[in-house]
Structure 1
């Protein structure tokens, strides 16, 4: 391994993950999204903005019949995702495709997937602090594709009875619902994630469908920590600690 990379174990999922030592490294968010989504049988699943491939890798371990595509625009991250897929012996079930959300129509027929997942960049271009670490700003800031692009891609890719699951920043939740409404996507489930019970929500998990109506279910909040240190039982189970 180069000195610029590490190999980290996710023992709960029987995975090893190559990551940049000082660049973008996955957080709790993709694991929360994996726990929120439901993968049925031999489902075909796509992850928009897959990064190092953590979402398809975790779900492939959990759901042995499903197949996955990870879409990633950053060449370096796409290469890392391919290496992680090979390292974990999942090349027969996970494909990594280079491209951005705005261009998926060039690569897939309409309604190709049963489930679309995404942990898209949640900061608008030119906002927030700039990170000196390579890749972090591309992962956090909209660069080649906007929120509207990610939602439009998800609608195009998912079959009419399939589902779309996003994890997103609650500060842009009104915008997320407004853009989804313009695309005639119906929100069916919402769950807010809190770092501690007393704090404001730090992320939001949302499930959408296309082509049918339904009432929004607001699920009980997901609390990550009790106090300042110990994980809650649910968060610990998701993290595998």
Structure 2
């Protein structure tokens, strides 16, 4: 098993996270989403499509007295997420459910969570190149669930007035807003993510709310890389917080 997995360390969050060596591996997206969602003390959160469990793990470290549920339909990844939770000593605050998001109405009562987060697959089935690495296509391409399914599940799970935060691809921004309108989910915040200050947006972050109206606030763009090729000052804070010593590592993730 060790030959099939690597362990990466998120020093700011005091986390060691195993993930497949050749399968789907997380990138910066979970860090951006967790920073944007800004979980609050005492909240109950759920992550739809947890992979190796990185989002629940970060959220559990971000605030006191929070509980987080991770939902992952790939059995091998769900098992890996469970092991990551155990390794990091967070079994009392994080639970992992091996299930498809379309089945959650039979698991949780309506309005069970204060916060729903997700980094859904953004490629439609049958589009784009097929990866030869096991697990990557299921994480990147819609298979058993599409964008509408993710939004529908999020609406069911979140409390009235609760928050839904997604990170998604700009090519589907209009579709997401249209589907949210049909579900009567109001967009409150939108932030585009750019690789640098001259590139187009590569992803976007959005916050939706159930049960109330609100004006959309379009936030300043998040720039990942500075002109010298290193992380921007905001990305440095997201990766390392105020610990300057950790910034000697050029990546947010330190491989072990």
Q: Kindly indicate whether the alpha-carbon contact (under 8 Å) linking 2:193 and 2:203 is maintained by their aligned counterparts in 1.
A: yes
Counterpart of 1:158 in structure 2 is 158
Query: How far did residue 161 of structure 1 move?
Result: 1.6
- Name the counterpart of 1:211: 211
- Alpha-carbon deviation of 1:64? 2.2
Q: Which residue of 1 aligns with 2:82?
A: 82
8 Å Cα contact 1:101/1:149 also seen in 2: yes
The equivalent residue for 1:124 is 124
Contact 1:121 1:139 in 2 (8 A): yes
Aligned residues: 241
For the residue of structure 2 that corresponds to 1:92, the secondary structure is coil
CA–CA separation in structure 2 for the residues paired with 1:229 and 1:198:
13
What does residue range 92-241 of structure 1 map to in structure 2 within 5 Å?
Answer: 92-227=92-227, 229-240=229-240, 241=247
CA distance in 1 between counterparts of 2:144 and 2:61 reads: 30
Counterpart Cα distance in 1 of 2:14 and 2:40: 21
Cα RMSD of the aligned pairs, angstroms, is 0.9
The 2-side partners of 1:228 and 1:96 are apart by: 40
TM-score (norm 1): 0.98
| Residue equivalent to 2:251 | none
1:58-97 CA distance string (max 9 Å, x none): 1111112100000000001000100000000000000000
8 Å contact kept, 2:192–2:222: yes
Match of 1:21 in 2: 21
Whether the 8 Å CA contact 2:66–2:93 is kept in 1: the answer is yes
- Looking at structure 2, the residues matched to 227 and 136 of structure 1 have their Cα atoms a distance apart, in angstroms, of 31
Paired residue for 1:37?
37
Spell out structure 1 runs of 4+ moving beyond 6 A: none
Q: Is the 8 A contact 2:39 2:62 kept in 1?
A: no
Structure 2: gaps of 5 or more residues: 241-246, 248-256
Q: TM-score, normalised by structure 2?
A: 0.92
- How far, CA to CA, are the matches of 1:35 and 1:215 in structure 2? 21
- TM-superposed deviation, 1:228: 6.0
What is the distance in 2 between the residues matched to 1:71 and 1:10? Answer: 21
